[in-house]
Amino acid sequence: MATGVSLLEACSGPEEQYLVQPARRKPGSPLPGESTWVPGMCQQCSAGCGIQVRIVDGNARKIEGNPNHPVNLGGVCALGQSALQELYNPDRILAPQRRVGDKGTGTFADTTWEDGLNAAVTAIARTSPDHIAIIGADRSGLTGALWRRFSEALGAPAPAFVEAPELEVERRAAQIVLGVTDIPYFDVSHSDYVLSIGSAFLDRWRSPVHYTRALAEMRRGRPGRRGRFVQAEARMSLTAANADEWLAVRPGAEGILARTLAGILLSSGKIEKENAARYRNLFPEDPPGLEEGAALCAVAAEKIERIATELAAAEN
Ligand code: SF4
**What tens digit of pLDDT does each residue of 125-148 get?**
999 999 999 998 777 778 889 999
Residue 282: what pLDDT? Answer: 87
Give ipTM to 2 decimals.
Answer: 0.99
Q: Where are the alpha helices (DSSP H) in the chain?
A: 78-81, 83-87, 113-125, 141-154, 165-178, 208-220, 238-241, 254-268, 273-282, 290-297, 301-313
Strands 135-136 and 160-161: parallel
* Domain locations along the chain: 2-87, 97-161, 188-313
80 CA to centre of ligand 1 in angstroms:
5
CB proximity list for 219: less than 8 A, separation 6 or greater: 226, 227, 229
Could you say which of 3.30.1360.120, 3.30.950.10, 3.40.228.10, 3.20.20.70 is the CATH number of the domain covering 188-313? Answer: 3.40.228.10
Q: Cα(298)–Cα(93) distance, rounded to whole angstroms?
A: 49
CA-to-CA dists, residue 36 to 28, 65, 121, 185, 186, angstroms? 11, 15, 37, 34, 35
User: 297: how many CB neighbours lie within 10 A of its CB?
Assistant: 26
**What tens digit of pLDDT does each residue of 4-38 get?**
434 344 455 556 666 555 556 677 777 788 899 99
- Nearest CA-CA partner of 37 in 50, 55, 51: 55
Residue 91: what pLDDT? Answer: 92
Higher pLDDT: 303 or 282? It is 303
Residue 136: what pLDDT? Answer: 84
- Nearest CA-CA partner of 75 in 83, 60, 64, 62: 64
* Average pLDDT for 279-293: 92
Q: Cα(163)–Cα(307) distance, rounded to whole angstroms?
A: 34
Residue 188: what pLDDT? Answer: 95
Q: Which residue has the least CA distance to atom 8 on ligand 1?
A: 80
248 CA to centre of ligand 1 in angstroms:
27
85 CA to centre of ligand 1 in angstroms:
14
User: Phi/psi at 287 (nearest 5 deg)?
Assistant: -70, 160
Name the residue of 204, 207, 215 whose CB sits within 8 Å of the most ligand 1 atoms, as the mutation to test its pocket: 207
Class of domain 2-87: mainly beta
**What tens digit of pLDDT does each residue of 226-265 get?**
999 999 999 999 999 999 999 999 999 999 999 999 999 9
Q: Is any ligand 1 atom within 6 A of the Cβ of residue 207?
A: yes
63 CA to centre of ligand 1 in angstroms:
11
**What tens digit of pLDDT does each residue of 166-175 get?**
777 888 888 8
CA-to-CA dists, residue 290 to 61, 166, 256, 297, 298, angstroms? 56, 29, 10, 11, 12
* Average pLDDT for 296-308: 97
% residues pLDDT > 90 (the chain): 62
* Average pLDDT of the chain to the nearest whole number: 88
**What tens digit of pLDDT does each residue of 31-82 get?**
788 899 999 999 888 788 999 999 999 999 999 999 999 889 998 988 899 9
Q: Is any ligand 1 atom within 6 A of the Cβ of residue 52?
A: no
Q: Cα(131)–Cα(251) distance, rounded to whole angstroms?
A: 44
Q: Cα(301)–Cα(306) distance, rounded to whole angstroms?
A: 9
* Average pLDDT for 299-316: 95
* Average pLDDT for 209-217: 92
Same fold, 2-87 and 188-313: no
